[in-house]
């Protein structure tokens, strides 16, 4: 048997949780940038990448005249083919960078592999493949781990950041990004076609998470539970956005303009098998976000119970 492949147990949100960190409240001359990844369908069974870095290259009128990092923490494995049909994964959530015009955005990808319709696996050299996955051949990735891959902006324009919060949706087109290498080597080659399909102003939902008077958070997972375990959520249609909570109880979710129903993750799992059941009240229960504006929603945790592993 050439390979035994199973979907990763972690959800896409979990795989990207460390990467999609919020960038703080911003500063004078700064602009918030969020990056979401999507994909056009391709003729492969699976196409997996780890994104090591996302950065902007400065143009002549950028404030710092150089580069600005958006992502420096490697993501987990992301199957690009799960991001078709309008689905997206948030890689960068509201990171603040100096304002100005940037000539390029680049994705640095050091590890990738594909699974063909026939079940063969082609992996980049030295890729740390998931358990049960064995490479049948090599996936060539020229310049992937050095200068990275350029994201094409609409009409070959640049990205102009002028103090607004901006969401960039990047299409990692699998159908054009992977193919057989010329000749009879049998190798596959990765030449990503990355296109910024939309660049628009974003807003935000921000607030605090607090514990109701008289309530003490329990011990769960072998340690006292902190407010950072709470996961606020904002939903519009079929799309749900989430955010981490800081040690001070503050959070911020970067979203496009629109009206959102506010909720939260009611059950949280820990490595030792314990589960935390949470009840909370968002106030208000819905939030309307204008372009570049921020709506305020505060949460009060009214109950928290630890369910030990059976």
| 293-307 pLDDT tens trace | 789 999 999 999 999
7 domain-assigned: no
Rounded-to-integer distance, Cα 49 and Cα 53, Å: 12
5 domain-assigned: no
Considering the domain architecture, whether residues 168 and 253 belong to the same structural domain is answered as no
Q: What is the pLDDT of residue 292?
A: 67
| 198-207 pLDDT tens trace | 777 667 899 9
188 domain-assigned: yes
Q: What is the pLDDT of residue 61?
A: 54
Considering the domain architecture, whether residues 77 and 218 belong to the same structural domain is answered as no
Considering the domain architecture, whether residues 24 and 96 belong to the same structural domain is answered as yes
| 27-40 pLDDT tens trace | 345 787 878 788 87
Considering the domain architecture, whether residues 172 and 208 belong to the same structural domain is answered as no
Considering the domain architecture, whether residues 40 and 103 belong to the same structural domain is answered as yes
| Domain span at 116 | 12-201
Of 201, 223, 239, which residue constitutes the final position of a domain? 201
Q: How confident is the model at residue 154 (pLDDT cuts 50, 70, 90)?
A: confident
How many CA atoms lie less than 13 Å away from 257 in the CB half-sphere? 9
Buried b (16+ CB within 10 A) or exposed e, 91-121: bbbbbbbbbbbbebbbbbbbbbbbbbeeebb
Q: What is the percent of the chain where pLDDT is above 70?
A: 83
Of 138, 166, 201, which residue constitutes the final position of a domain? 201
Q: Is this model's pTM higher than 0.75 or not?
A: no
Rounded-to-integer distance, Cα 201 and Cα 186, Å: 45
103 domain-assigned: yes
Q: What is the percent of the chain where pLDDT is above 90?
A: 34
Span of 24-33, 165-174, 237-246 with lowest mean pLDDT = 24-33
Q: How many CB atoms lie within 10 A of CB 76?
A: 17
Considering the domain architecture, whether residues 109 and 28 belong to the same structural domain is answered as yes
């Amino acid at each position: 048997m050439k390979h035994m492949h199973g979907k990763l147990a972690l959800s896409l949100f979990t795989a990207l949780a460390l990467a999609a960190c919020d960038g703080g409240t911003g500063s004078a001359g700064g602009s918030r940038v969020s990056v979401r990844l999507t994909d056009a369908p391709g003729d492969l069974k699976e196409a997996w990448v780890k994104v090591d870095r996302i950065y902007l290259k400065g143009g002549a009128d950028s404030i710092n005249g150089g580069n600005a990092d958006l992502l420096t923490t490697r993501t987990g494995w992301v199957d690009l083919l799960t991001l078709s049909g309008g689905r997206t994964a948030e890689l960068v959530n509201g990171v603040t960078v100096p304002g100005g015009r940037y000539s390029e955005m680049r994705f640095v990808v050091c590890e990738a592999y594909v699974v063909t319709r026939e079940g063969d696996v082609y992996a980049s050299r030295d890729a740390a493949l998931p358990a049960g996955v064995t490479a049948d051949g090599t996936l060539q990735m020229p310049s992937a781990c050095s200068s990275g891959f350029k994201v094409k902006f609409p009409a070959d324009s640049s990205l102009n950041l002028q103090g607004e919060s901006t969401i960039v949706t990047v299409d990692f087109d699998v159908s054009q990004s992977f193919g057989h290498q010329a000749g009879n080597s049998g190798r596959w080659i990765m030449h990503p076609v990355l296109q910024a399909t939309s660049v628009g102003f974003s807003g935000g939902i921000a607030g605090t998470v607090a514990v109701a008077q008289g309530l003490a958070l329990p011990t769960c997972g072998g340690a006292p539970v902190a407010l950072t375990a709470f996961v606020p959520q904002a939903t519009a249609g079929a799309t749900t956005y989430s955010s981490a909570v800081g040690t001070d109880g503050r959070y911020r979710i970067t979203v496009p303009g629109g009206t959102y129903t506010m909720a939260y993750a009611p059950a949280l799992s820990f490595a030792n098998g314990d589960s935390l059941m949470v009840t909370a009240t968002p106030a208000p229960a819905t939030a309307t976000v204008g372009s570049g504006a921020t709506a305020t929603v505060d949460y009060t945790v009214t109950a928290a119970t630890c369910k030990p592993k059976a």
